[in-house]
Chains A and B, each alone.
Chain A
Amino acid sequence: MSTMTATMPSSALDQDWRRVLRWGLICGGVLIALCLVGMPVELDRRELIERYLSLGYVSVLMIPILIGRIAATQVVLEGVESRKQGLYDLVTGLAVGILGGVSLSVLIVALDSWNLRDPLVNWSPKLFRFLTYENGIGFGLMAWIVTCGLLGMMGAASHVVPAMVRRVSGIVVLSLLGISVLEGAIEDLSEGFRLEWLTDLLYAKKGGLTLTSAILAGAAIAVVAVLTSGRVKALTTSYREKEGADRQKASIILFVVVAVLVIVLPIFLGKIMNELLANVGLFLLLALGLNIVVGLAGLLDLGYVAFFAVGGYTTAVLTSPNSPFFAPEMHFGFALIFVVIFAIVVGLVIGAPVIRMRGDYLAIVTLGFGEIIRLLFLSDWLGPYFGGAQGITNIPGVDLGFATVKGTDPRSVFYLVLFFCAIAIYVSWRLQASRLGRSWMAIREDEQVAETMGINTVNSKLMAFVVGAVMAAFSGAVLAAKVGSIFPTSFMILISIIILVVVIVGGMGNIAGVMVGSFVLIGVLGGPKQPGLLQEFQNFKLLIYGMLLVFMMLKRPEGLVPSARRSRELHQDEFLQDAWLKGDKPGTDDDDGETVGDDGGEEE
């Protein structure tokens, strides 16, 4: 139990019990929290494998596996001999799992004995039935302790079994999970490709895989996993290791492939998927704008939704016949000109007073402005012009001559959004590598020094604010045309926050990162009101957002696809170390052999 025996155990039972206890309690805590949040009961309705496994059970059962795996992870220190992983770790996993199971048992007993439904909404007989599998309390207790123990051991076993087995079983489990959870999306996709027979074969009538199809699909995936073993990894590492022109070429190829996919795929997709893509696009457009403001210029703008609202309302007033005060019923294209003008004006009006503030102050003031704009649209004062809480309805779609873009045809909306996103991406990309982009970077690094180096920081920051505002306003305009009606409630503060989360999780300051971020968050999890691929998690979306954000901040603060600059910034020490290691090898240093300490050579 001392640290000596913990690193070099003599037997499998000679565990670091404090550590085991800690992880066991964490495991139990997570399990209980999950149950009380209501996730398992709610998701129990969704069958993954017909009659055998529901999403509810999966959401609980994965916890001991994950925590068992984490608990059995060995910290490998360079230069220190590490022990071989084996039985010792299995015991760790087992113990952690059992502790988790015991905690759940305590919950079951408590559920049976007391009624705490008043503060805890999910303290219900339903949860009790779920946990005991409707087989009585004794069975429930035993079942959970045993299963959690076994699953914890399975999680730990992932360190023990050969890499190949780990890889194949991991891929099989995850893809089966993916296939079953994404049933709706896959059915939609297969319809587009006329492959309904495949999904009919795969899925049961009432939803979920059938047991046979699960086994068959699992076997097929396992074969594929064995065959492709190592290839994917080789491909990604070869991409990562490329430098300069080669890397650029690879990036261009990647970009073209993605672009073609994005343009062609919607033709084969059904309504639901196209709707989803259109939503992703709308949020991507917002996120790209915010990326300029926050990611490039470093201005934490929490009231970004204001510009979204300006775009939406401008379009609504100018195009809708139902606009209460002034209804010119313009064409969307003309209205866009005014959208840009108003976005710039509002950007300047909000920006000019707040832009002189720094950091936290700016965040708080913009937060206020975001709400003010929404409340103005809601107010009685502007009610006669913008319809107050009733909003503006009956906004026509976009008449392009050959087609009309409107909400009932999500594919057309997607293409419209795509057009604006393409513009936004181009603008971000060009501005990044320009005089203005450099001044934003400098301001983000050190505002005072930037000012002393001759950059008019107020102008530069305003410019960032306005460019971001215009992008958000475009997004608002498309939203108005898509939904056909605009209400103050469409522009809640939550949108500002979710877009910020998109930018942070995706990778601040990186266009590809923002794209990935909006796809993962809006596409997979869903927007504030828009369903994502995981529709089942609709009610727990904000919880998952929060957990994801905390996790990212702890483990990967630079985001999923970070910009090189930002990951350097957040990992300066490691970066310096790497550079030192690289420079230390003979033949890689090209001039004076200087590394961290300086040379002192003569001037040539």
Chain B
Amino acid sequence: MSLLEIKDLKITFGGLDALSGLNFHIDEGEIVSVIGPNGAGKTTFFNAISGLVAPTEGDIEFEGESILGLDPSTVTSLGIARTFQNVRLFPNMTVLENVMVAQHCRTKELIYGALFQTKAFRKEESEIRERAIEILGFFGNRLIGYRLDQPAFMLSYANRRRLEIARAMGTQPRLLLLDEPVAGMNPIETTELTNLIGRLRSEWGFTIVMIEHDMKVVRDVSDRVVVLDHGVPIAQGSYDEVSTDPNVIEAYLGRPVEAKA
């Protein structure tokens, strides 16, 4: 059984088909890239999975169960976490708090525990903190040390992207949706993050779906590539297959001049 199954997904915004007829599945442990020109419907696809947009038709199944109509928070608690294309951290919370707060759906202490500082409460708090530090430690010394207590808005751009991934990891997902994780990074940072994405699977066991424009990253990490154009999937397969597919070349570069006539 596949981890995520997309069936005939169609999303319409006021007559415009943002996505139509999308069919595919993601197996446990895969890294799948979703590529396509701007406006192809990639982010809409992520929004549909994470519950921010309701599909017009079709179904999304996670571990065999439909997740249509669930709140975003419920989807996250089932084990799907995401990052945002335009980094959306909690800018005035510290780096540590950003990751701590992401563990909300995996923890349960409420008012009583906090007021009476029960043993369970203190244990859970220290676990949340330790796990957050462990997750942040995954990014080397970039996000730990004195940065733990810095507000997120103080971070450099690349670090903000890293922190977004760390925050998504904080929700302890099985499926991680990364929306353009290396956008705006320089080549060295990109290489580094590409390695990290590989390690996210090998060390943390996440299944990863990634939207990416950087073809080098796509080639280096993905097992499979899905190409969207104008909301329609035009190709699926390994990077080599997809990159030579005439439809894909057309979508990115346009039709050859002779064909026009």
Contact = CB atoms under 8 A, between A and B. Distances in A.
Given A436-B114, A454-B105, A579 B50 contact: no
Contacts of B196: 603
Interface string A535-573: 000000000000000000000000000000110110010
A457 interface: yes
B257 interface: no
A582 to B, nearest CB: 11
A431 interface: yes
Given A454-B102, A455-B104, A427 B157 contact: no
A598 B88 contact: no
B141 A592 contact: yes
B235 interface: no
Contact of B102 (A434, A453, A467): A453
Chain A contact residues, majority secondary structure: helix
B107 interface: yes
A590 interface: yes
A435 B90 contact: no
A437 B158 CA distance: 28
A456 interface: yes
A597 B90 contact: no
B224 interface: no
B127 to A, nearest CB: 11
A600 B142 CA distance: 10
Nearest to B93: A441
Contact of A591 (B113, B117, B141, B151): B141
B156 A594 contact: yes
A600 B73 contact: no
Contact of A568 (B110, B114, B151, B192): B151
Interface in B68-92: 71-74, 76-77, 81-82, 84, 88-92
A596 B72 contact: no
Contact of A445 (B52, B92, B104, B189): B92
Contacts of B124: 435
A572 B121 contact: no
A442 interface: yes
Contact of A439 (B51, B82, B104, B159): B104
B171 interface: yes
B134 to A, nearest CB: 16
B100 interface: yes
B82 A452 contact: yes
Interface in A417-438: 426-427, 430-431, 433-438
B42 interface: no
Interface string A501-531: 0000000000000000000000000000000
B6 interface: no
Nearest to A448: B52
Given A438-B101, A603-B140, A604-B140, A454 B156 contact: no
Given A590-B145, A590-B146, 18 more contacts: A434-B121, A435-B124, A439-B101, A441-B92, A441-B93, A449-B90, A453-B81, A453-B101, A454-B73, A454-B81, A455-B101, A456-B105, A565-B151, A576-B153, A579-B154, A596-B156, A598-B157, A604-B140
9 contacts: A430-B117, A434-B109, A435-B114, A438-B100, A455-B73, A455-B104, A595-B156, A602-B192, A603-B196
| CB-CB nearest 3 A-B residue pairs | A454-B105, A454-B76, A434-B114
